[in-house]
């Protein structure tokens, strides 16, 4: 699995730590029956009924781990 790294301006292999992070989010989503989607008009997130498509979208997120976390 690879993710786009905004700091390196290239695709990088997804770290095991990041994979565990995504898996934890997926497990919480399944537990509660919700998932995180994206609303394109205003750039906000949407909370929707659980969807594998939303989980896959999230796991393909761009990463910016060298940037600020504010």
Q: Domain of 15?
A: 1-31
Per-residue pLDDT of the chain (70 residues; tens, 9 = 90+): 999 999 999 999 999 999 999 999 999 999 999 999 988 777 789 999 999 999 999 999 999 988 655 5
Task: Measure Cα distances from 36 to 7, 31, 60, 67 in Å.
Answer: 24, 13, 13, 23
The total domain count for the chain is 1
Segment holding 68, helix H or strand E: none
Whole-model pTM?
0.83
Dig out the tokens for 49 from the structure. Answer: 């009924």
Residue 1 within any structural domain of the chain: yes
**Contact (Cβ atoms closer than 8 angstroms) between residue 38 and residue 57:** yes
Q: Is residue 24 in a domain? A: yes
């Amino acid at each position: 699995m690879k993710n786009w790294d905004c700091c390196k301006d290239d695709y990088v292999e997804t770290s095991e730590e990041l994979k565990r992070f995504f898996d934890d989010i997926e497990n919480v989503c399944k537990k509660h029956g919700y998932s995180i989607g994206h609303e394109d008009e205003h750039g906000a997130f949407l909370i929707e009924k659980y969807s594998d498509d939303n989980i896959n979208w999230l796991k393909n997120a761009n990463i910016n781990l060298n940037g600020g976390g504010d």
